[in-house]
Amino acid sequence: MAQHFSLAACDVVGFDLDHTLCRYNLPESARLIYNSFAQFLVKEKGYDKELLTVTPEDWDFCCKGLALDLEDGNFIKLADNGTVLRASHGTKMLAPEVLAEEYGRKEWKHFTPDSGMACRSGKYYFYDNYFDLPGALLCARVVDSLTKQNNGQKPFDFWKDIVAGIQHNYKMSAFKENCGIYFPEIKRDPGRYLHTCPESVKKWLRQLKNAGKILMLITSSHSDYCRLLCEYILGNDFEYLFDIVITNALKPGFFSHLPSQRPFRTLENDEEQEALPSLDKPGWYSQGNAVHLYELLKKMTGKPEPKVVYFGDSMHSDIFPACHYSNWETVLILEELRGDRDGKPEDSEPLEKKGKYENYPWTTNLQVSLQTIQKQQAIIQTLHWSYQMMGN
């Protein structure tokens, strides 16, 4: 990756949707996501009703970059060399002497220096985005409850119930069936949970399109939910803005999987249809892979190596895989920095959790100047390096 890049030199501009083009009202959406899981665990799986009550102080537990060890119920924060910086059992922080005894100065058992720590496994789960973070708090409180009930005995066997909660609330048909808690509530009152895009952002997108750029939307959200979000934040004519819309992209596999493993599918009434052997024309598709997409971009631009830039909010799903597997330029959207810029600390993480990049001139509403992008690129390169140490 070049140290600097120019947006004007890019032929294709792609965007993630959730927490990128679509900003959420984080306090409200976090509570909704938490409740969608907590009510399922209590009502369907018989967990303690105390899980339904959350205090404002409880939310301080949430922090990007936590890894949950599913065997012992510990949440850990790793250094770039794989050693454990701090840890908690459930929500209870481990004392320094306990931390030293349990982890010492050695690499965490699931960390591998060559390939890094994979972010999804049957033995641990890595939390790196705002959809996941409420689940971190819920799982920590579940560990607290089970520790109390079982007198601290290990291992913990609750993850299958969390997966069942995901399937119940967020399966592909949940939006259409109006099941679970999350989708019915978003449909009922989208303004409570979503921020509309400023007119300046819409104008910027139109300017990019009028300048001859190919615009793409690549999201792991399903097509019906994507449509609701886009109509609310961009307007009913949002499809005009994008040459290509890809939903249920199942990132990061969209970038890392072979075409045979993840073919594109057409959509009919938001239902996935037959698999496509290749991608021949722009339009709205489901699933897919970056290899077939890039072949289409070659045809659309008439260039053997069109230059692509992708905006996203997740190091795991967007930034690292788009750069590492597809050699795309990337721009990371950091919601945490918005509080400093706007003077609204309630929109950002607690002060003690802010990262070392907090003073950089980041913008989360996508009003990005070329000069700002160049400054951001140095940060992104650092984050790429750090992420390679954590997994792909």
Task: Single out the catalytic residue among 16, 144, 313, 318.
Answer: 16
Mind spelling out the 3-state secondary structure of 20-84? CCEEECHHHHHHHHHHHHHHHHHHHHCCCHHHHCCCHHHHHHCCCCEEEECCCCEEEEECCCCCE
Q: Which of 18, 144, 270, 313 is catalytic?
A: 18
Q: Which of 258, 380, 289, 320 is nearest to 116 (CA)?
A: 320
16 is catalytic: yes
Q: Rounded to an integer, what distance in angstroms lies between the CA atom of residue 256 and that of residue 337? A: 29
Residues 191-226: b if buried by 16+ CB within 10 A, e if exposed = eebbeebeeebbebbeebbeeebbbbbbbbbbbbbb
Cβ neighbours of 321 (radius 10 Å): 25
The whole-angstrom separation of Cα 90 and Cα 75 is 7
Cα distance between residue 17 and residue 229, in whole Å: 8
Q: How far apart are CA 46 and CA 59, in angstroms?
A: 23
Question: What is the rounded distance in angstroms from the CA atom of residue 377 to the CA atom of residue 392?
Answer: 20
Active site residue 69: no
Task: Detail the DSSP E strand segments found in 313-362.
Answer: 329-332
- Taking a C-beta distance cutoff of 8 angstroms, is the pair 102, 78 a contact? no
Q: Tell me how far apart the alpha carbons of residues 139 and 162 are, in angstroms, rounded to a whole number.
A: 8
Q: Are 248 and 221 in contact (CB under 8 A)?
A: yes
List active site positions. 16, 18
